[in-house]
């Protein structure tokens, strides 16, 4: 079912006994993170904190001309002072399990959406062979995904309360300071709506936002992100105000769509409609020319000056390490709109596993059919949560010729977000790449490090602190398949994998219940 709004989703979680309500006084300064981190790592429930009592924050960081600044010099400036009670509950870990991630996408299991896309790919007459056919089919698939386009809302709960001018105050919200060395409080689950200054095409992304004071935030648009490119294009065109709307809440399918690696030309809100099987109701923001989902909890409207930068960070990131402080664009808030009793949606990131692990796993599974459309020899793929997804990929293929593994490695490094993958391991099709034990067995058995590796270079996640340069680094592929005669100079017979005779397996299966084992 499609959800009316975020609170409807929370109600559904409660009915499924997937939501724990916390009435104990808890602070958004570090304490929610400590509780949520323990719960996430124990596969615990979603959490709703309804008694937020914590310290006031001295919002903001120094704004030196250079971003070269150590963490110790930043953190004390944001140490809490005084105390206050916050009026708005905080919900966290709402998508932190397979069941909750599936419920968020209005289905029993998120593989159902993969099956929907797979049926499009595998429909009779829909198996493209040439590059031209693949491009035409991608356009047809885009039309199918767009079959539930957004619609104008007759009523917008997210605009029942409107604050402008001196009424704008971000500090009224229980915004989390997640980790001790963070540069300040961060909005961690924002849906950032922007438009291409040339084409007008909408983009919805998820970018962390450090709150500096009542009406300014850092906008963490990394170099590879669409939001950054759109802002730079606006600046090149001489525009001094690049308009932005930041949405908190709404149907959780909106949140998933913001992180989805969609094909070019597919609107995130159309994809959200595809997931929920109902159009997303949209409304124009009050002070910027941007449409937002009418079912949002809170909307933060504003603009970015393409020429302005301010120190943002450090931030305890999904890599498990603090990302260092750097200069990033600044959002100037012109209005805040919200429903009368909103819930503040949040998440935390850090050493995996975390809630974002299930969001990433849903992306992997749902979009696998589209990856297979481009690289059809791929049987399955596993982007391990513990490797932060973009660091490692285990891939099984139908091997058809010598060197096939290397063809797939290079294809992966040329595919959208998969281009950031640092280490790619290629296995035969009979390998269960979801089983790490089997992966390690095949890797150890079939890969010779001196022969079966491919070194390359290319773009990496801007947050990768180990790379040779920011956003650019090395890559390596491992051929863990059975070697064919003559492949990479292999001249010996390749042994067979040990396997019991089928008739013996069947015989023992028939008597197993009588063995008392």
Over residues 272-322, the pLDDT tens digits come to 999 999 999 999 999 999 999 999 999 999 999 999 999 999 999 998 899
Q: How far apart are CA 304 and CA 286, in angstroms?
A: 16
Does pLDDT of 394 surpass 70?
yes
Does pLDDT of 120 surpass 80?
no
pLDDT of residue 485: 82
Per DSSP, the three-state class of 10 is helix
Does pLDDT of 39 surpass 90?
yes
293 cis-preceded (ω within 30 degrees of 0)? no
Does pLDDT of 188 surpass 90?
yes
pLDDT of residue 312: 96
pLDDT of residue 71: 36
Over residues 46-58, the pLDDT tens digits come to 999 999 998 765 5
466 vs 196, more confident: 196
- With cut-offs at 50, 70 and 90, classify the pLDDT of residue 76: very low
| Residue 25 CA from chain centroid, whole number | 30
- Bridge partner list, 151: 281
Over residues 16-26, the pLDDT tens digits come to 999 999 999 99
pLDDT of residue 292: 98
Give the mean pLDDT of 322-344. 96
pLDDT of residue 509: 96
The region, left, alpha or beta by phi > 0 then psi within -120 to 50, assigned to residue 250 is: left
Task: Quote the radius of gyration of the chain (alpha carbons, Å).
Answer: 25
- With cut-offs at 50, 70 and 90, classify the pLDDT of residue 83: confident
Instruction: Find which of 75-84, 260-269, 403-412, 489-498 is predicted with most confidence, using mean pLDDT.
Output: 403-412
- With cut-offs at 50, 70 and 90, classify the pLDDT of residue 490: confident
pTM across the whole model: 0.87
Does pLDDT of 60 surpass 90?
no
- With cut-offs at 50, 70 and 90, classify the pLDDT of residue 468: confident
What b-and-e string marks burial along 483-516, b requiring 16 or more CB atoms within 10 Å of the CB?
A: beeebeebeeeeeeeeeeeeeeeeeeeeeeeeee
Does pLDDT of 73 surpass 70?
no
Task: Flag the least confident range among 68-82, 305-319, 351-365, 404-418.
Answer: 68-82
- With cut-offs at 50, 70 and 90, classify the pLDDT of residue 134: low
Does pLDDT of 238 surpass 60?
yes
Task: Flag the least confident range among 31-40, 333-342, 420-429, 488-497.
Answer: 488-497
pLDDT of residue 130: 58
Contact status, residue 333 vs residue 215, Cβ threshold 8 Å: yes
Contact status, residue 348 vs residue 33, Cβ threshold 8 Å: yes
Q: In Å, how far are 195, 231, 239 from 198, measured between CA atoms?
A: 9, 11, 12
Q: How far apart are CA 481 and CA 41, in angstroms?
A: 34
Does pLDDT of 432 surpass 90?
yes
pLDDT of residue 214: 96
What is the share, in percent, of the chain residues with pLDDT greater than 90?
A: 74
- Bridge partner list, 458: 473
Q: How far apart are CA 176 and CA 48, in angstroms?
A: 14
353 cis-preceded (ω within 30 degrees of 0)? yes
Q: How far apart are CA 69 and CA 384, in angstroms?
A: 33
Does pLDDT of 127 surpass 90?
no
What is the share, in percent, of the chain residues with pLDDT greater than 70?
A: 90
What angle (nearest 5°) sits at the alpha carbon of residue 209, between those of residues 52 and 191?
90
DSSP code at position 495: P
pLDDT of residue 366: 94
Does pLDDT of 359 surpass 70?
yes
pLDDT of residue 68: 36
pLDDT of residue 85: 92
pLDDT of residue 69: 37
Q: How far apart are CA 327 and CA 66, in angstroms?
A: 8
Where do the domains of the chain lie, and which CATH numbers do they carry?
A: 6-108+150-346 (2.30.110.10), 375-489 (3.40.1670.10)
Mean pLDDT of the chain: 89
Contact status, residue 115 vs residue 368, Cβ threshold 8 Å: no
Give the mean pLDDT of 453-478. 86
Give the mean pLDDT of 388-406. 92
pLDDT of residue 48: 98
What is the CB neighbour count within 10 angstroms for residue 101?
24
368 vs 71, more confident: 368
Q: Which of 295, 317, 461, 464 is catalytic?
A: 317
- With cut-offs at 50, 70 and 90, classify the pLDDT of residue 263: confident
Over residues 135-170, the pLDDT tens digits come to 555 555 556 666 688 999 999 999 999 999 999 999
56 vs 449, more confident: 449
Residues present in the chain in total: 517
Contact status, residue 382 vs residue 368, Cβ threshold 8 Å: no
Our answer to whether residue 509 is catalytic in this structure is no
The residue written with tokens 């979801």 in the block is 434
């Amino acid at each position: 079912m499609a959800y009316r709004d975020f609170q409807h989703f929370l109600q559904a979680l409660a009915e499924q006994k997937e939501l724990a309500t916390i009435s104990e006084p808890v602070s958004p300064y570090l304490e929610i993170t400590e509780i949520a981190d323990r719960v996430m790592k124990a596969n615990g429930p979603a959490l709703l904190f309804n008694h937020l009592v914590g310290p006031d924050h001295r919002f903001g960081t120094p704004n030196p001309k250079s971003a070269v600044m150590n963490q110790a010099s930043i953190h004390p400036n944001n140490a809490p002072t005084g105390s206050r009670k916050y009026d708005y509950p905080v919900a966290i870990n709402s998508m932190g399990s397979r069941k909750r991630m599936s419920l968020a996408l209005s289905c029993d299991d998120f593989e159902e959406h993969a099956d929907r896309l797979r049926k499009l790919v595998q429909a009779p007459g829909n198996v493209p062979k040439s590059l031209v056919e693949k491009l035409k089919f991608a356009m047809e698939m885009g039309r199918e995904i767009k079959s539930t386009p957004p619609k104008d809302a007759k009523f917008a709960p997210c605009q029942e309360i409107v604050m402008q001018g001196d009424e704008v105050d971000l500090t009224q919200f229980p915004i989390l300071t997640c980790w001790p060395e963070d540069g300040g409080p961060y909005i961690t689950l924002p849906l950032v709506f922007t438009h291409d200054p040339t084409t007008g095409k909408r983009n919805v992304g998820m970018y962390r936002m450090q709150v500096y004071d009542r009406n300014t935030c850092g906008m963490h648009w990394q170099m590879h992100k669409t939001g950054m490119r759109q802002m730079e294009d606006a600046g090149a065109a001489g525009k001094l105000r690049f308009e932005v709307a930041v949405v908190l809440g709404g149907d959780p399918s909106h949140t998933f769509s913001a992180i989805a690696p969609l094909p070019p030309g597919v609107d995130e809100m159309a994809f959200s409609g595809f997931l929920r099987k109902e159009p997303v109701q949209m409304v124009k923001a009050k002070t910027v020319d941007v449409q937002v989902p009418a079912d949002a909890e809170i909307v933060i409207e504003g603009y970015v000056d393409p020429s302005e930068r301010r120190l943002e960070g450090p931030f305890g990131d999904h890599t498990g390490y603090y990302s260092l402080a750097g200069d990033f664009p600044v959002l100037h808030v012109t209005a805040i709109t919200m429903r009368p009793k909103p819930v503040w949606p949040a998440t935390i990131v850090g050493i995996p596993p975390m809630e974002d692990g299930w969001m990433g796993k849903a992306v992997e599974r749902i979009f696998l059919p589209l990856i297979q459309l481009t690289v059809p020899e791929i049987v399955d793929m596993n982007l391990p949560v513990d490797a932060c997804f973009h660091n490692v990929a285990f891939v099984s293929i139908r091997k058809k010729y010598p060197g096939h593994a290397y063809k797939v490695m290079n294809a992966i490094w040329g595919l959208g977000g998969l281009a950031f993958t640092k280490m790619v391991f290629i296995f035969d099709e009979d390998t269960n790449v979801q089983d790490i034990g089997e992966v390690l067995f095949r890797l150890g058995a079939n890969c010779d490090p001196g022969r079966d590796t491919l070194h390359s270079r290319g773009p990496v996640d801007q947050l990768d602190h180990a790379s040779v340069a920011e956003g650019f680094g090395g890559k390596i592929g491992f051929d863990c398949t059975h070697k064919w005669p003559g492949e990479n100079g292999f001249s010996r017979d390749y042994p067979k994998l040990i396997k019991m005779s089928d008739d013996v397996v069947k015989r023992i299966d028939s008597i197993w219940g009588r063995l008392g084992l």
